[in-house]
Protein backbone atom coordinates (compact mmCIF):
# COMPACT_ATOMS: atom_id res chain seq x y z
CA UNK A 1 0.00 0.00 0.00
CA UNK A 2 1.46 3.34 -1.05
CA UNK A 3 0.94 6.46 0.90
CA UNK A 4 -0.34 9.46 -0.96
CA UNK A 5 1.49 12.66 -0.12
CA UNK A 6 0.17 16.17 -0.63
CA UNK A 7 3.47 17.14 -2.24
CA UNK A 8 2.92 14.61 -5.01
CA UNK A 9 0.30 16.90 -6.57
CA UNK A 10 2.65 19.90 -6.65
CA UNK A 11 4.79 20.11 -9.80
CA UNK A 12 8.46 19.44 -9.22
CA UNK A 13 9.53 22.96 -10.21
CA UNK A 14 7.38 24.47 -7.41
CA UNK A 15 8.88 22.14 -4.82
CA UNK A 16 12.25 23.84 -5.31
CA UNK A 17 12.84 26.21 -2.37
CA UNK A 18 14.41 28.89 -4.60
CA UNK A 19 11.49 28.95 -7.02
CA UNK A 20 9.08 29.02 -4.10
CA UNK A 21 10.97 31.92 -2.49
CA UNK A 22 11.00 33.92 -5.72
CA UNK A 23 7.30 33.24 -6.26
CA UNK A 24 6.42 34.39 -2.73
CA UNK A 25 8.59 37.49 -3.19
CA UNK A 26 6.81 38.39 -6.44
CA UNK A 27 3.41 37.94 -4.86
CA UNK A 28 4.50 40.14 -1.96
CA UNK A 29 5.80 42.90 -4.27
CA UNK A 30 2.82 42.83 -6.64
CA UNK A 31 -0.02 42.56 -4.14
CA UNK A 32 0.81 42.76 -0.45
CA UNK A 33 3.43 45.45 0.09
CA UNK A 34 2.34 49.00 0.93
CA UNK A 35 4.25 50.17 -2.17
CA UNK A 36 2.94 47.41 -4.41
CA UNK A 37 2.88 47.68 -8.18
CA UNK A 38 -0.83 48.32 -8.37
CA UNK A 39 -0.71 51.33 -6.06
CA UNK A 40 2.43 52.60 -7.80
CA UNK A 41 0.63 52.47 -11.15
CA UNK A 42 -2.30 54.44 -9.71
CA UNK A 43 0.09 56.97 -8.14
CA UNK A 44 1.97 57.44 -11.40
CA UNK A 45 -1.30 57.98 -13.28
CA UNK A 46 -2.37 60.56 -10.68
CA UNK A 47 1.03 62.27 -10.94
CA UNK A 48 0.69 62.55 -14.74
CA UNK A 49 -2.77 64.07 -14.33
CA UNK A 50 -1.53 66.56 -11.73
CA UNK A 51 1.39 67.59 -13.93
CA UNK A 52 -0.98 68.21 -16.83
CA UNK A 53 -3.21 70.27 -14.53
CA UNK A 54 -0.18 72.22 -13.34
CA UNK A 55 0.78 73.09 -16.91
CA UNK A 56 -2.79 74.18 -17.66
CA UNK A 57 -2.91 76.45 -14.60
CA UNK A 58 0.52 77.95 -15.31
CA UNK A 59 -0.67 78.91 -18.79
CA UNK A 60 -3.89 80.35 -17.36
CA UNK A 61 -1.89 82.38 -14.80
CA UNK A 62 0.26 83.85 -17.58
CA UNK A 63 -2.82 84.72 -19.66
CA UNK A 64 -4.57 86.30 -16.69
CA UNK A 65 -1.45 88.26 -15.78
CA UNK A 66 -1.26 89.60 -19.32
CA UNK A 67 -4.95 90.52 -19.28
CA UNK A 68 -4.55 92.23 -15.90
CA UNK A 69 -1.64 94.24 -17.20
CA UNK A 70 -3.72 95.32 -20.20
CA UNK A 71 -6.57 96.36 -17.91
CA UNK A 72 -4.25 98.39 -15.71
CA UNK A 73 -2.63 100.24 -18.59
CA UNK A 74 -5.41 100.85 -21.13
CA UNK A 75 -8.72 102.50 -20.21
CA UNK A 76 -10.39 101.29 -23.42
CA UNK A 77 -9.69 97.69 -22.45
CA UNK A 78 -10.97 98.38 -18.94
CA UNK A 79 -14.23 99.74 -20.32
CA UNK A 80 -14.59 96.78 -22.70
CA UNK A 81 -13.98 94.35 -19.82
CA UNK A 82 -16.55 96.08 -17.59
CA UNK A 83 -19.15 96.07 -20.37
CA UNK A 84 -18.62 92.39 -21.25
CA UNK A 85 -18.14 90.86 -17.81
CA UNK A 86 -20.37 93.00 -15.63
CA UNK A 87 -22.85 94.17 -18.29
CA UNK A 88 -22.23 97.81 -17.48
CA UNK A 89 -23.61 100.46 -19.79
CA UNK A 90 -23.71 104.16 -20.23
CA UNK A 91 -26.92 105.93 -19.13
CA UNK A 92 -28.09 106.64 -22.69
CA UNK A 93 -27.45 103.12 -24.05
CA UNK A 94 -29.62 100.03 -24.32
CA UNK A 95 -28.08 96.67 -23.53
CA UNK A 96 -28.99 93.53 -25.47
CA UNK A 97 -27.66 90.20 -24.23
CA UNK A 98 -27.39 87.39 -26.76
CA UNK A 99 -26.93 83.98 -25.19
CA UNK A 100 -25.93 80.74 -26.82
CA UNK A 101 -28.13 77.73 -25.95
CA UNK A 102 -25.34 76.43 -23.71
CA UNK A 103 -25.17 79.68 -21.73
CA UNK A 104 -28.95 79.75 -21.49
CA UNK A 105 -28.97 76.24 -19.96
CA UNK A 106 -26.31 77.31 -17.43
CA UNK A 107 -28.36 80.27 -16.29
CA UNK A 108 -31.61 78.31 -16.12
CA UNK A 109 -29.94 75.66 -13.93
CA UNK A 110 -28.79 78.31 -11.46
CA UNK A 111 -32.22 79.86 -11.12
CA UNK A 112 -34.12 76.58 -10.57
pLDDT level of residue 64 (50, 70, 90 thresholds) = very high
- pLDDT at site 111: 66
Give the 3-state secondary structure of residue 65. Answer: helix
Instruction: Report whether pLDDT(60) > 90.
Output: yes
User: pLDDT tens across 22-40, in order?
Assistant: 988 888 888 888 888 888 8
24 to each of 15, 20, 30, 36, 95, how far by Cα in Å? 13, 6, 10, 14, 74
Average pLDDT over residues 44-59: 97
Q: Is the pLDDT of residue 59 over 60?
A: yes
Would you say residue 106 has pLDDT above 80? Answer: no
Amino acid sequence: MSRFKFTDKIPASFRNKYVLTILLFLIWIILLDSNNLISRYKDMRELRRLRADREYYLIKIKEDGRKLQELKTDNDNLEKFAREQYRMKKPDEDLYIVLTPREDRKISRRTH
